[in-house]
Amino acid sequence: MLSARGLSVRYGRSVHALSDVDLEVEADGVLAVLGGNGAGKSTLLRAVSGTLPLHRGAVSAGEIVFDGNRIDKLDPALIVRAGVVAVPEGRQVFARMTVEENLRAGGLGARSAEVRTAARERIRTLFPVLDERSGQRAGLLSGGEQQMLAIGRALMSGPKLLLLDEPSLGLAPQMVGRIARIIREIHSQGTAVVLVEQNATMALQVADHAVVLEVGRVALSGPAAELAASDDVQRLYLGGH
């Protein structure tokens, strides 16, 4: 469904944030992208969603193909229209708008009113708490609720592929577990997911496949269960020895 081939991204002339990255996301898959600070995880999501900072960041080599079409030269709005939607790091809900207004804003990217209506129903069952809070300002929600709202807002356009940047960041363990279950649920309803995480334990439980980035290159890739069992991943990312 999504593939990157030989993808390289630079910021200005000197920062090579990604070098020759190959990866594949299956239509029915969850791909975890792991790696330490500055490994290039967010850059990868920005490249896929077309939101690299315009004045500095650019795909300098390679290509990104989604559903058979190249998307690496498209405007972000057209990438959303094609079915790829990102939830950025730090959630970035519209704090002064209500929960419902945030969801409506997400629906602006939908292909049709039918898609929007179906998505609103889906969000009702996935996140009952958002209905209870629908008239409240988003900035007053807890961190976990804001994460749910950010995911809900992204789902409003009916994406085929959801890109999540560190959804567990700053959340209590119980809430991380809830978000993990929600990601599995979204996947089982037919939406593919790319999950960027520092929390490798959570990500490898949720994902089918995983890649590990190290200074902009793919250091390891394979089925999530295999990576979870590997000595390198155990030592570097799962706190094992």
Instruction: Note the residues at the interface with ligand ATP (CB under 6 A).
Output: 11, 15, 17, 35, 37-43, 53, 56-57, 198
- Of 39 and 79, the one with the shorter C-beta distance to ligand ATP is 39
Nearer to ligand ATP, 141 or 233 (CB): 233
Residues 6+ apart with CB under 8 A from 99: 130, 133, 134, 135, 136, 138, 141, 149
Q: Cβ closer to ligand ATP: 11 or 94?
A: 11
| Angstrom distance (rounded) from CA 183 to CA 142 | 19
Least distance from ligand ATP to the Cβ atom of residue 52, Å: 8
210, 26 Cβ separation under 8 angstroms: no
CB of 4 to ligand ATP, least distance (A): 14
Rounded alpha-carbon distances, angstroms, from residue 148 to 8, 93, 151, 230: 32, 10, 5, 32
Closest distance between ligand ATP and the C-beta of residue 86, in Å?
13
Tell me how far apart the alpha carbons of residues 85 and 110 are, in angstroms, rounded to a whole number: 11
Find the shortest distance in angstroms from Cβ 161 to ligand ATP.
19
Of 41 and 133, the one with the shorter C-beta distance to ligand ATP is 41
Cβ neighbours of residue 74 under 8 Å, at least 6 residues apart?
Answer: 50, 82
Min. distance of Cβ 10 from ligand ATP in angstroms?
9
Smallest distance, ligand ATP to C-beta of residue 127, A:
26
Collect all residues with Cβ–Cβ distance below 8 Å to 236 and sequence separation of at least 6.
Answer: 36
CA distance 239 to 129: 34
Q: Looking at beta carbons only, is 97 or 219 nearer to ligand ATP?
A: 219
- C-alpha dihedral over 125, 78, 192, 237, to 10 degrees? -110
Closer residue to ligand ATP (CB): 31 or 119: 31
Give the nearest distance from C-beta 68 to ligand ATP in angstroms: 27
Closer to ligand ATP by Cβ: residue 156 or 218: 218
